[in-house]
Structure 1
Amino acid sequence: MSGTTQLRPTYHGYVRDTTDALIIFEACLAGQLLHVPRRPHDRERQNVIKSGSIFVYEEHASGIKRWTDSITWSPSRIMGNYLVYRQLEKPFAPGEKKRAKGKGGKSTTQSGGISKPRQRNALPFQQGLEHGNEYPSVPSDEDRQLVGSLVDSYDFKEQGLVKKTISITYNGVPHHLISYYTVEDVKAGLLTSPADDQGLRGVVPRAELTNGQNFRAPIEESIGGAYMPGMRHSAAPATDAPAADAPAADASATGTSAVGTSATSASAVGTSATSASAIGTSATSASAIRATATSASAIHAPATGAPKWLPAVL
Structure 2
Amino acid sequence: MITSNSCSLDVPYFHGYMETMMDALQLIYAARQGIIPCITRRLNHMERGVMIKSSAIFNFTYKQSGNSYCFNVDGLLWSRSRIVGNFLVYWQINEHASGQGRYTGAEARNVPIYCNSLELSSGYKRGLTTQSGGEQGTLEPNALIKKTVTITIEGSNFHLISYYSSEDICNGRLKRPLSHPDVMELYMPPSIFRLTKFRVPPKIEIGPDGKPHFM
- Per the normalisation by structure 1, the TM-score is 0.53
* Structure 2 CA distance for partners of 1:113 and 1:54, relative to 1, 3 Å: closer
1:78 aligns with 2:83: yes
Partner of 2:94: 89
Paired letter, 2:129: L
Matching residue of 1:260: 208
- Is residue 128 of structure 2 the alignment partner of residue 149 of structure 1? yes
What pairs with 1:17-166 in structure 2 (closer than 5 Å)?
17-66=20-69, 67-91=72-96, 100=104, 110-111=110-111, 141=120, 148-151=127-130, 155-166=138-149
Question: Percent sequence identity over matched residues?
Answer: 29
Per-residue deviation at 1:57?
0.9
Which stretch has the larger CA shift, 60-69 or 45-54? 60-69
SS in 2 for 1:72: coil
For residue 200 of structure 1, the aligned residue among 153, 164, 183 is 183
Aligned equivalents of 1:99, 1:185: Cα separation in 2: 24
Deviates most, 29-38 or 193-202: 193-202
Greater length-normalized contact order (CA 8 Å, ≥ 6 residues apart): 2
Larger-Rg structure: 1
Quick one: which amino acid aligns to residue 68 of structure 1? V
Deviation track 1:40-93 (CA, whole Å, cap 9, x = no partner) reads 111121210000101111111122524321111000010010000000122489
SS in 2 for 1:166: strand
From the two aligned structures, give the one with the greater helix fraction: 2
User: What is the TM-score normalised by the length of structure 2?
Assistant: 0.74
Unaligned ranges ≥5, structure 2: 1-7
Tell me the secondary structure at the aligned position of residue 149 of structure 1: helix
How many aligned residue pairs are there? 195
Q: Tell me how far apart the structure 2 counterparts of residues 72 and 7 of structure 1 sit (CA, whole Å).
A: 27
Q: AA paired with 1:26?
A: Y
**Aligned-pair CA distance for 1:99:** 7.4
- Is residue 190 of structure 1 aligned with residue 168 of structure 2? no
Aligned-pair Cα RMSD in Å: 3.5
Q: Distance in 2 between matches of 1:199 and 1:185?
A: 24
Select the structure that is richer in strand: 2
Whether the 8 Å contact between 1:110 and 1:152 is mirrored in structure 2 is no
Gaps of 5+ in 1: 115-139, 221-228, 231-256, 262-299, 307-314
